[in-house]
Amino acid sequence: MRWILAVLAIGAAGICQAEALTPQVEIEEEVYRYADAQNGAGPMWCAGSTCLVRSGDQLFASGLEVVPDAKPLNNCRWMLFVRRATGWERVRVDSEGRTREPAPMAAFADGRVYLSVNPAIDAGPQPGGGPTRPDVLKFSAHEPEAPPASVTPRWRERPPFSEHSYRSFAADGASGELVLFQNIGYTHAEWTFFDRGGRWSSQGKLQWPWGAEYETPQPIRVCYPNVALLDRQVHFVGVSDIVEPNRAWREYKRELTGLDWDYDFRRLFYTWTADIAKKPFADWIEISSRDKTCGGISPGDLWLAPNGEAHLVWTERAIDERLRDKFFPGVPQSHSVNYARVRDGRILERRTLLESTEATPGIIGSAPRFHVTPDHRLFVVYLAKGVEPDGTPVSENRVVEMRADGAVGAPARLPLKSPFISYFTTTVRGGSPPSNTLEMLGERAGVPTTISYARVRLLP
């Protein structure tokens, strides 16, 4: 494994061993089991948002359940869980609505807990999906079993929402404000802002970046974003998600798969606004690209620091292995975890945190997430898989500190019984408070069709 400090060459002094982390696992347990809905989504589909939130001393999770005998695409319903002293309890389930995707959550410090839902308008069978009516449901942390109140979002005009929402839900937990994005086809996302006065007071459209350089110029749909809201700033970072725009690659992929479509996922775009209620979003910035070699990018996380800087983390793969022999012979493959700091639309710093190449094979990192403590210490949690230089096989979650002085701490293992391969956290982007304790909800290696929870003490 190599921890590579930056494009700005901080050098060996950047690796800080002085304050070794010793994470302690406090809880590790099952929350619920699920079935494959066969609709292209699943319980982790909204991974850019979160299905795990904390309000005070109460912890909540949303889940996804397949409706018996219902046909895809809208063949699921949401569930709400609360963690009691004895473990997880399902306290609510949607008795009427039908949906495709999981329900992301948000929470405020005052006990308000929110669930973003996207129910189908037609309650009957929907073998091919159909129009939907987005809603936000409000629960009380003090009485989660009570029926929720509908806080129906307002939108500009009447957008044609569908079961493929690709929606993003973010909260400023201290200020009591929300922002909700929901995609409309391949052109833009609709957004609506819920202010501290309890009103959906601002709405608009986020137009996708324009791909003028493609053989057929087109909008570049941006999906699976990380969205953050703080003091009415909104920051948005996601990956390109369009049908393969390169004709030669598209035709070759069709030969391999027999499908007329294959999506790109290889350009990372970022935009922001200093005030969602008053100012438009800035021009898009391309943070990173693997477009030249048909590689891949996956968004990881986003954190807004008190000084106004946006911290980004994501993973990259250099080449689509399926196309390598035909289009990129001799080009080396690599896998990396990457980090950047952005302020006022400028990239201040970019680093490769972890890299495995054919020349220097090692640990491959995936699913990176930020974790923030009350004193604004920043950590990156990730899944580490591969082989150490001494031949030791590795499959575990690790955590590393991104120090304020620019140094990167030594990675520490999370001593879980089974690592999380895809997971949510009680992220501040969902309104949960910063904490010295990491909380995770998701899928674990070797535990199929099961959503699990873990609580790990990172700092005393």
pLDDT band at 129 (very low <50, low <70, confident <90, very high): confident
Asked whether residue 4 is domain-assigned, the answer is: no
How confident is the model over 374-428, as pLDDT tens digits? 999 999 999 999 999 888 999 999 999 999 888 999 999 999 999 999 999 999 9
Q: Is the pLDDT of residue 135 over 70?
A: yes
Residue 96 and residue 151: Cα distance in Å, rounded? 17
What DSSP line would sit under 2-24, residue for residue?
A: B---TTTT--GGGEE-SS----E
Residue 16 and residue 24: Cα distance in Å, rounded? 21
Burial class (CB in 10 A: 0-12, 13-18, 19+), 327: middle
Q: 376, 305 in Cβ contact below 8 A?
A: yes
Asked whether residue 425 is domain-assigned, the answer is: yes
Asked whether residue 7 is domain-assigned, the answer is: no
Q: Average pLDDT, stretch 424-453?
A: 98
Asked whether residue 148 is domain-assigned, the answer is: yes
**CATH label of the domain that carries residue 330:** 2.130.10
Q: Average pLDDT, stretch 46-61?
A: 97
- State the residue range of the domain holding 388: 12-457
Q: Is the pLDDT of residue 14 over 50?
A: no
Q: Average pLDDT, stretch 11-26?
A: 64
Residues 6+ apart with CB under 8 A from 263: 241, 242, 243, 244
How confident is the model over 232-283, as pLDDT tens digits? 999 999 999 999 999 999 999 999 999 988 999 999 999 999 999 999 999 9
Least trusted range by pLDDT, from 51-55, 220-224, 390-394: 390-394
Give residue for tokens 């020349």: 359
Asked whether residue 6 is domain-assigned, the answer is: no
Given strand 149-150, what is the order of strands in its sheet?
A: 105-107, 112-117, 135-140, 149-150
Position 20 scores a pLDDT of: 84
For 322, the 3-state DSSP assignment is helix
Asked whether residue 336 is domain-assigned, the answer is: yes
Asked whether residue 320 is domain-assigned, the answer is: yes
How confident is the model over 306-339, as pLDDT tens digits? 999 999 999 999 999 999 999 999 999 999 999 9
Q: Is the pLDDT of residue 451 over 70?
A: yes
Q: Is the pLDDT of residue 19 over 80?
A: no
Position 125 scores a pLDDT of: 59
DSSP code for 74: S
Neighbours of 454 (CB within 10 A): 23
Domain count, the chain: 1
Residue 373 and residue 378: Cα distance in Å, rounded? 7
What DSSP line would sit under 86-103, residue for residue?
A: TEEEEEEE-SS--BSS--
Asked whether residue 386 is domain-assigned, the answer is: yes
